[in-house]
Structure 1
Amino acid sequence: MDDRITAGAIVAWRPSLNARIGGLVTASYQSALSSSVALDEAYLTLRPSPGDALRLSGRAGLFYPPISLEHDSSEWSLARSITPSAINSWVAEEVKTAGLELTLRTGLAGRPAGLTVAGFQGNDTSGTLLAFRGWALHDLRATLKSELPLPPVPTMFVGKQAPWTQPVDEVDGRWGVYGRLDLSPADALDLSVFAYDNNGDRTTVVNGQYAWRTRFVQVAARWAPDTRTEVLVQGMQGETSMGRPSEGVNPADIGFQSAFVLVSRDLGDSAITTRLEQFSTDDRSFKARDNNAEHGWSATLAWTRPLRDTLEFVIEGVLVSSDRPDRIRLGTDRRQENFRLTTALRASF
């Protein structure tokens, strides 16, 4: 069991330039990641014009795409637990973009609907951690200049891939795109489909940082069966690859999948949340040298208790079980089970 004490903080500035144009700048401190404060997000916002049947909004700058249902508290933070799901842990560390996003909201057959499209750069290395390390559950998030450590890379990448990855990095000069479709077929049900393609040039490498071609699709749902219960569902499937083809395949090429169901219940003076999830990767190249396949599951139980208006206590247990053959190359057991108990005090000002 890990008995370390860690600390984190997010400071936000929300300027308002006029009735429709504003902004957000956040800086974060994460003791488990760095000893300094770093830029987290920074973007201008376009607010919709009141009363319009077609409501246009947007963002321009450095921001997380609208993927996570769990990060719906202020400044892209968590409200129900300490640790996000495997999907959203990966998004937090490897899917931050610098670009322009536009959202159009209207009604469709009398129900709310929305369409979001974006063009972005700065996310070329997305997929590095997922391929070389695998899925992880943690509360870390990439900042503008983050350098996240990698496990020892296979021999074919030694001297080419740096021993770390920079999640926010533009390597090939190409633009990626993503889109999201939202529909609320009932008052208590919100559905969305999200598609992402960073359009990376697999053969470009600069200062040990490769451009990966990473694509995925996600379906998600938020359901409130009653006023005190909330159900969140996310399911993601995609692929990522890099390098110049050899023997007809890319040096690194994996498919990845994950899904979770989260149920949160308001108990009046506290809230309890449980989450079950599955995650996996399928290695498509050179398995005899480094088999990056992985299969696992996780269960999370969290209890949140407000102590006052600006302070809350959270206790969480996370059980993770996974099988990853490449761990043998690193001198550890391929099959591992880990349980982590975490407590937190969260303050807001």
Structure 2
Amino acid sequence: MLNTQFRMPSEQINFNGQNVQFANFGILDSSGNRATINGNILVRSFSDMNMDLRLRATNWQAMSSTAEQNKDFYGRLFLTTNMTIQGPLAAPSIDGSLNILKGTSVTATVPATQTTIQESEGIVEFIDASNPNRYTMLTTKDTSRKLGQFAPGSNINLNVSSDEEAEFSVIVDEGTGDFVKIRGKADLNTTVAPDGTLGIVGTYEIKEGSYHFNYNFIRRLFKIQPGSRITFSGDPNDAELDVTAVYEANVPPYDLVSRQVPDPSTLVFFKQRLPFEVEMKLTGPLMKPDINFDIVLPEDRNYRVSGDVQDLVNARLSQLRQSPSEMNKQVFALIILNRFVTENVFESGVEGGGVSN
């Protein structure tokens, strides 16, 4: 899955009775950056091993893979870490810090249906670089545990942070190609209790992001607003969203206000295109958020229309906010048709309306 080649050019492992000892044991990534392991493993038997290890790494590339190699989870992952690993091999206690660095670009795909997670067999391969056709896979006898599951008895406590330049993408729908891309700052504490329960506490604040919406041949870009955030308070499924994404539709307001204009002779002034912003607001639980829409005419712009035109448009938008069904109708008209619609959706006073990218 990681598809990263690691080198151990001249490292030694010392065997002293029942102890397997690591003294500055180095693992080099493809750029020569070093992860160092110190400590020992007490081996009473192959089914009874006890670890007392410290792992340190700086600007270390832990993953380098493509969608062709693993479409569910791929990309580049750079990290700095300082952690201790203690206890039984099957249920370790891990404590320390993990910092995700600039240069990271990781993509995950949301599966269309629940699938079996890859088993642990074959995840790590030791390859003789002088003869790549010969290799040995070191695996445990029990391969029934699935990747991503935590064994009972594990106790993990990691402080996880993310550089603002680290990029994460989620392919929401493989069929349509919808995906989300974000960069931001994470300050999280991740724990796994002895019963295997995963807990996350902290905040991920988005600095920059986008949601790429695809419908047939229609492509729309929603920009996620800086300051949007995901707040974790325990169970990651109970995380709270406070995210706003904006799509800009440069369209005339004619069909929006044609029935509100008091003087029909002035309707021509409403055929000027204006940069309306469609806001999609996601709040509440991560797994079942409340989704609300709004349409606004930004105030910090200079328009080639009079103040009276702007006032009438804003008054009409205020009316829409009193009727969620009417607001949603206009929102989806802007997204799909790239124009406003009148009460009769087949009637339009604007030439050249319809779908465009």
State the TM-score, normalizing by the size of structure 2.
Answer: 0.35
Give the greater-gyration-radius structure (CA). Answer: 2
Name the one with the larger helix percent. Answer: 2
Larger relative contact order (Cα-Cα within 8 Å, sequence gap ≥ 6) = 1
- The structure whose residues are more often strand, as a share, is 1
Report the TM-score, using the length of structure 1 for normalisation.
Answer: 0.36
